[in-house]
Amino acid sequence: MELNWFKRNGIFFIPTSLAGWIILLAGVAYAVYTFIDIDSRSHSASDTLINFVFRLLIIIAVYSLVAYLTSRSSKK
Amino acid sequence: MIMDSQNFEDRLRQVTKPEVKELKHQDMLADATAKGKDKSVVSWWWLIIPLYIILTLVMKSIYMPNTSFISNIQELTSKQKLTSSIFFLILPIIFILISFYNIRKIYFLSGNPKSVIFLKAVWLDILMILFSILILIIYVL
């Protein structure tokens, strides 16, 4: 079964269905939660940003993997 | 009878061979190239993570006195054994294998391609291999 939840546009995967949008919104919500959590425990702005960017990259990487597995090929 | 045979000859001249504009392997090649690019995009996002860590360690070695990049890497690998082996060892090896497989597939499907055309199709995979090797070298140091 081929899922068409996302479509690749450059280096990003854009949602094309409700399931895709739910995954994107869940990712964004988790990123916001992570930012608030890190900010509450950090000692400076740079401390927050350094730790948050690392977590954000992991979230984006997982999102892109899920999107790749549930999207059609860009050729079709 | 003579008229009939002439008409037949005229009709024969008009009939042309059916043309196959796109060959099956060309379709497969285009499919392999598109899928390879999709895979490369995913791999890029995963490779950015160790590259980001390397960048932060470089910054640390510049701004923190009495520290060097090598010592920072060694500190990271000893303190975060699992995380560092995933991002600096396992992931790059997986991406090297995926990229090699993709290059091999495109090479065989394109059938003796010209080097420029072939390089255009696989440059992203080659770049991926180079970055993965760089990460592996830094990890081994």
B102, B100, B91: which is closest to B134 by C-alpha? B91
Q: Do A65 and B42 touch (CB under 8 A)?
A: yes
Residues in A closer than 8 angstroms to B45, CB to CB, are 11, 57, 60-61, 64-65
Whether residue B40 is contained in a domain is answered as yes
Residue of A nearest to B39 (CA): A68
Strand partners, A15: A6
Predicted local confidence at residue B20, as pLDDT: 63
Range of the domain at B135: 28-140
pLDDT at residue A76, rounded to an integer: 44
Contacts of A68 in chain B (CB under 8 A): 38-39, 41-42
In a domain, B86, yes or no: yes
Whether pLDDT at A69 is above 60: yes
- State the Cα–Cα distance between residues B15 and B71, nearest whole angstrom: 77
B46:A65 CB<8 A: yes
| ipTM tops 0.95 | no
CA distance A73 to chain B (A): 6
Q: What is the enclosing helix (H) or strand (E) of B60?
A: helix B24-63
Interface test with A, best of B38, B55, B98, B127 (most A CBs within 10 A): B38
Burial class (CB in 10 A: 0-12, 13-18, 19+), B15: exposed
Would you state the pLDDT for residue A20? Answer: 92
Q: Where are the domains of chain A?
A: 6-69
Cα separation, B18 vs B21, whole angstroms? 9
Q: Read off the pLDDT of residues B76-99 as tens digits, 9 standing for 90 and up.
A: 888 888 888 888 899 999 999 999
The reply to whether B62 falls in a domain is yes
- What does the pLDDT average to over A22-46? 92
